[in-house]
Amino acid sequence: MEFKDYYQALGLERTASEDEVRKAYRKLARKYHPDVSKEPDAETRMREVNEAYDVLRDKEKRTAYDALADRVARGGSAQGDFQPPPGWDEGFEFNYRPDSDGPADHAQFSEFFSSLFGQAQRRGAARQNFRARGEDHHAAIEISLEDALNGAEREITLRAMEIDAQGQAQVVPRTLHVKIPPGVGPGQFIRLAGQGMPGHGGEAAGDLFLEVRIAPHKLYRVEGRDLYMTLPVTPSEAALGGPIRAPTPGGAVVEVTVPANARNGLKLRLKGRGLPGKTPGDLYLLLDIVLPPADNDAVRQAYETLARASGSFDPRRHLGV
C-alpha cells in the first residue's frame, strides 16, 4: 500500500483554502464524472478525486492527514509498503456525514483511506443505527422563599448544551417555563420531562432536573424544612417574661410567650410554620436581648437602680476574675 498525496490528486498546494479545495473538486468532477467524461480512466480518476475531497474538505480529517504526512516525510519515502504508525490519530475526532455535500460511497475508496479513516466511519455508521434514550441533564435554580412557600410559575433561562447538525456540541441559551410546587426545599429537584438531551434512533429525550436553591431572606434562614428567625426582645421582656408579637412567613402576626428569665439565644418553636409539605417544617424564633441605649437621664437612672438592686450579680464570675 502506497501513501496517497491527496493534494496532488486535486492539483492543489498544501496551503490551499477550503474554498480552493471545493472549487478544485467541482472542476475535476465535471471533467471525470463517468456520465459525461470521455477520458479512458474517468471512473478511476473520479474515485481518486472523491477520496481526496472527502479528506481535505473535513477539518479534522485534513488536520490528521497533514500531521501524518509530516511524520511520513520525516521518516523517508512514502512509497512501497506504507502502514499508518500506531496512535497516529490520537486526539482527533472524525465526523461521519453520509448525507453531506460531496462523495459518500466510502466503500469505493482505497485501502489507504480505509486504513486511516475506515474505523471512524464504521463507528459513525454504528451511531446512525444506535438507539438509546437521551441523557438526563441537571441545572441549579435559585428561587425566593416566598416562591418556595406558596409555589409559583416562572420563566427561567439556562445555558444548555445542544448537538448541532454536524454532531458538535454547542452552548445555547434556553428559556423554559417552570412550575415551582409549594413546599419545595433546598437540595430538592424539580423534574422537567423531555427537556434533557435528545434521544438516539427515535428514542425519547432525557429529563432536566433543576436543583432548588433558596435565595437569602431578610428575616428567615432555611435549614432543611425548618425556618429560623432572630426575634429581638428587651431586657425586661426577657427577665419578666410575657406575651410579645412576632411575624411569620405566611404574613400573619402571632403572639408568643417569652418565659421568665429567658436567656439570649433561647429558641421558641412554632410547630408547622416552616416549609409546607406532608410533614411541614417548624419556625424557630431565636431570642436576641437588645439593650436600650443609655442616652438620657431616665434610662441611666434605671440602669443605676438595676445595678444596685442586683448588687451581687456578677456575669464574669465563672471566669475567675
Alpha-helix runs per DSSP H in 86-205: 111-129, 145-150
pLDDT at residue 98, as a whole number: 45
3-state SS class at 22: helix
Q: Residue holding cell 417555563?
A: 177
Long-range contacts of 112-118 (CB under 8 A, 24+ apart): 112/1, 112/2, 112/3, 112/4, 112/82, 113/4, 113/51, 113/54, 113/55, 115/1, 115/83, 115/84, 116/64, 116/65, 116/68, 116/84, 116/88, 116/89, 117/55, 117/61
**Quick one: CA dihedral 221, 185, 153, 276, positive or negative?**
negative
Exposed/middle/buried for 61, CB within 10 Å: 0-12, 13-18, 19+? buried
pLDDT at residue 90, as a whole number: 58
Q: Residue-wise pLDDT tens for the chain (321 aa)?
A: 788 898 999 999 999 999 999 999 999 988 887 777 777 888 888 889 988 998 898 887 888 888 888 878 776 555 556 777 766 665 555 554 444 445 545 556 777 777 777 655 555 544 555 678 888 888 888 999 999 999 999 998 887 766 666 666 677 888 999 999 999 999 999 999 988 877 877 788 889 899 999 999 999 999 999 999 999 999 999 999 999 999 999 889 999 999 999 999 999 999 999 999 899 999 999 999 999 999 999 999 999 999 999 888 888 888 987
The reply to whether 58-214 and 220-319 are identical in fold is yes
pLDDT at residue 191, as a whole number: 94
pLDDT at residue 193, as a whole number: 92
- d(C-alpha 14, C-alpha 23), whole Å: 15
CATH number corresponding to 220-319: 2.60.260.20
pLDDT at residue 135, as a whole number: 81
pLDDT at residue 100, as a whole number: 46
Phi and psi based region of residue 49 (left: phi greater than 0; alpha: psi -120 to 50; beta: remaining): alpha
What pairs with residue 140 in β-bridges? 211
pLDDT at residue 99, as a whole number: 43
Class of domain 58-214: mainly beta
C-alpha cell read off for 39:
477520458
Residues 84-102 as b/e (b if ≥16 CB within 10 A, e otherwise) read: beeeebeeeebebbeeeee
Q: Where are the domains of the chain?
A: 58-214, 220-319
pLDDT at residue 163, as a whole number: 65
C-alpha cell read off for 81:
509498503
